[in-house]
Amino acid sequence: MRGFARIQIVFGAAILLLGARAVQGAELRVLAPTTIRPVIGALSSQFENTTGYKIVIAYDVAPVVKRQIESGAAFDLVIVTRSLMEDLIKQGKIAAETRSDISRAGAGVAVRIGAARPNIGSAEALKHTLLNAKSIAYAAEGTTGVYFLNLLDRLGIAAETKPKLKPMGGGAVLAPLVSGEADLAIATMPLIVEERRVQLAGAVPPELQNYIVFTAGVGSAAKEVDAAKSFIKLLTAPTSVQAIKASGFDPVTP
């Protein structure tokens, strides 16, 4: 209990100090994958109200975020998958000592609101459901999209399902469900939880599951280093666990 209280005190002091130094209207520039949007949305107002900073954030799929940084995009803080973060650190784009894991997300299956929830409780049941679907939406680019295509290979149904696959860009993977163009969509759990026009059929079975760890880091050329570090502290604080879980993520234990 004492350790928890100490973390709260240290975090609170850092935020108050930053708030005292912040220039009114100063901006914290953030690049992040669309998947993490619910967490940012849940915590950004608290950060802005406490510090006086305005968070300016651009969302896209993680590989695109990485390419934007490699092309010279200006930013203070970035959130990407752990593997992409390691590569950016090797390139000197991120200050290695600021790297912090903030959450992880598993893959799930979504269906339209009101549709019967298919049985996906085992590898065999998921295989049967995918084979019987008329159309399956997935992210054309991004970690979950790559995982899904590999999953079809693991299940031995890549050839049979290829004609019914509907690759989608960016955060639009659930759009075909909403429009009625697809029966199923494979996406990270947070994206499914956030979209109120679809429903979660369930998580991919544990024996097939793949967790994506999202990691934050401060840019080597960041202008607002202290603000970026303080926002990472907020994202990783014990007081933020509830917001992380409510968004469909799991907190990452250091």
Q: What is the pLDDT of residue 143?
A: 82
d(CA 138, CA 76): 30
Whether residues 59 and 136 fall in one domain: no
How many other C-beta atoms are found inside a 10 Å radius of the C-beta of residue 250?
A: 15
Establish if 22 belongs to a structural domain: yes
Whether residues 198 and 133 fall in one domain: yes
Whether residues 67 and 113 fall in one domain: no
- DSSP letter for 23, please: P
Tell me how many domains the chain contains.
2
Whether 138 and 185 have beta carbons less than 8 Å apart is answered as yes
Token digits for 134?
Answer: 């008329």
Whether residues 111 and 143 fall in one domain: yes
Whether residues 20 and 33 fall in one domain: yes
Whether residues 221 and 170 fall in one domain: no
Whether residues 100 and 219 fall in one domain: yes
Q: What is the pLDDT of residue 184?
A: 97
Whether residues 38 and 162 fall in one domain: no
- Across 2-155, the runs of DSSP E, i.e. the strands, are 27-33, 54-60, 77-81, 100-105, 107-112, 136-139
| Domain containing residue 35: CATH number | 3.40.190.10
Whether residues 166 and 93 fall in one domain: no
Domain extent at residue 233: 2-104+213-251
Establish if 181 belongs to a structural domain: yes
Q: How many CA atoms lie within 13 A of 129 on its CB side?
A: 23
Q: Which helix (H) or strand (E) holds 131?
A: helix 123-132
d(CA 77, CA 190): 21
**Max alpha carbon distance in the chain (Å)?**
61
d(CA 68, CA 9): 36
Whether residues 96 and 111 fall in one domain: no
Whether 228 and 77 have beta carbons less than 8 Å apart is answered as yes
Establish if 125 belongs to a structural domain: yes
Whether residues 169 and 148 fall in one domain: yes
Residues pairing with 78 in the sheet: 31, 217
d(CA 157, CA 161): 6
Establish if 113 belongs to a structural domain: yes
Establish if 38 belongs to a structural domain: yes
Establish if 112 belongs to a structural domain: yes
Question: ∠ CA 172-102-195 to the nearest 5 degrees?
Answer: 25
- For the chain, helix (H) and strand (E) counts, in that order, are 11, 11
Token digits for 229?
Answer: 């570090």
Establish if 65 belongs to a structural domain: yes
φ/ψ of 83, rounded to 5, equals -65, -40
Q: Which helix (H) or strand (E) holds 114?
A: none
Q: Could you read off the pLDDT tens digit of each residue along the chain, which spans 254 residues? A: 444 444 444 445 444 445 445 556 799 999 999 889 889 988 999 999 999 999 999 999 888 999 999 999 999 999 999 999 999 999 999 999 999 999 999 999 999 999 999 999 999 999 999 999 999 999 988 788 999 999 999 999 999 999 999 999 867 899 999 999 999 999 999 889 889 899 999 999 999 998 999 999 999 999 999 999 999 999 999 999 999 998 889 888 65
Establish if 208 belongs to a structural domain: no
Per-position DSSP letters for 173-201, written without gaps between them = TTHHHHHTS-SEEEEEHHHHHH-TTEEEE
Whether residues 68 and 134 fall in one domain: no
